[in-house]
Chains A and B, each alone.
Chain A
Amino acid sequence: MDSEPKTPQVLEFDIRGQICPASLLIALKEMNSCKDQLRNGEVQLVIKTDNRDATITIPDAVENMGYAVNVQRVDDYYVIVVEQGH
Chain B
Amino acid sequence: MKLGERLRGVVDNLSGGGETQRLVAENDLLRERERQLHEYMRSKVNQLLRVMGTLPLRAEELDDKAMRELDPIGIVADSFAQVLDHLNTINEKMKLANDEIQAILTAANVGILVVDAEMKIQAFNPKLREMFLAAGTDVLGSTCNQVLCGQDVPPEDCTFAKIMACKIGLQRQEWALRGHHYDVAAAPIKNRFGEVTHVVLVYNEVTERKQMMENLQESEEMFRILLENSRDMVQGVTPDGTFLYVNRAWRQALGYGEGDIDRLTIHDIIHPDCKEHCLGFFQTLMATGKGGVIDAVFITRDGTTLPVRGNISCSFKNGKPLVTCGIFSRTDESGQCQ
Contact = CB atoms under 8 A, between A and B. Distances in A.
A and B physically associate = yes
Interface of A: 19-22, 24-25, 28-29, 31-32, 35, 53, 56-57, 60-61, 64-66, 85
B75 interface: yes
Contacts of A32: 75, 78-79, 82
A66 B86 contact: yes
A65 B52 contact: no
B52 A22 contact: no
A21 B89 contact: no
- B interface: dominant SS: helix
Given A31-B79, A32-B78, A65-B79, A24 B54 contact: yes
A32 B90 CA distance: 20
B75 A29 contact: yes
B82 A21 contact: no
A66 B87 CA distance: 8
B28 interface: no
Contacts of B54: 20-21, 24, 53, 57
A23 to B, nearest CB: 9
B55 A20 contact: yes
Q: Which of A21, A24, A35 has the most CB of B within 10 A?
A: A21
A65 B57 contact: no
B227 interface: no
A19 to B, nearest CB: 8
A67 to B, nearest CB: 8
Contact of B57 (A21, A29, A31, A64): A21
Q: Which of A19, A56, A65 has the most CB of B within 10 A?
A: A65
Contacts of B62: 22
Nearest to B62: A22
A83 B230 CA distance: 80
A70 to B, nearest CB: 18
Contacts of B82: 31-32, 35, 65-66
A61 B53 contact: yes
26 contacts: A19-B61, A20-B54, A21-B49, A21-B54, A21-B55, A24-B49, A24-B54, A28-B79, A29-B70, A29-B75, A32-B75, A32-B82, A35-B78, A53-B54, A53-B55, A56-B53, A60-B52, A61-B52, A61-B53, A61-B79, A64-B83, A65-B79, A66-B82, A66-B83, A66-B85, A85-B86
